[in-house]
Amino acid sequence: MHETALMKNLLTTIEQVLDSHHVSRVNRVYLSVGQLSNALPEALSFAFEAMTREGRLQGAELIIENRPAVARCESCGEEYRVEKFPLVCPTCRSTSFIIISGEEVYVQSIDCEEKCPDD
């Protein structure tokens, strides 16, 4: 399952961040999920819950923030929201574009509660 592998990678990254900041407990994890990422929020939540039954992330809440996709016109440089395909630039009607955001899934922030006393 795509989301399980994705969440596993994300949790590895989160653990590294927790290690480097000596965090002992996490309240919330804010995840940014792009509109074009093909990741289902429900599946991500499910995977998160299943993988955080113990350890520092036990009981942590996953907050998913959906990010709209944005395209940049290759003809005039206009940046516009991706609503539906095929994409047409609202300024110059060009159909040549690159996607500049909306394909990624990343940890936006982590809300931590306690730090180890030696920090």
Binding site for Zn ion (CB under 5 A): 73, 75-76, 78, 89, 91-92, 94
Amino acid at 73: C
Question: How distant, in Å, are the alpha carbons of 21, 91, 94, 106, 118 from that of 101?
Answer: 28, 19, 19, 12, 40
CB of 101 to Zn ion, least distance (A): 17
In the block, tokens 């290759």 appear at 74
Q: Nearer to Zn ion by C-beta: 32 or 94?
A: 94
CB of 103 to Zn ion, least distance (A): 20
> What is the distance between the alpha carbons of residues 19 and 9, in angstroms, rounded to a whole number?
16
Decide the pairing of beta strands 70-73 and 79-81.
Answer: antiparallel
Q: Nearer to Zn ion by C-beta: 50 or 76?
A: 76
Q: Nearer to Zn ion by C-beta: 82 or 107?
A: 82
CB of 94 to Zn ion, least distance (A): 4
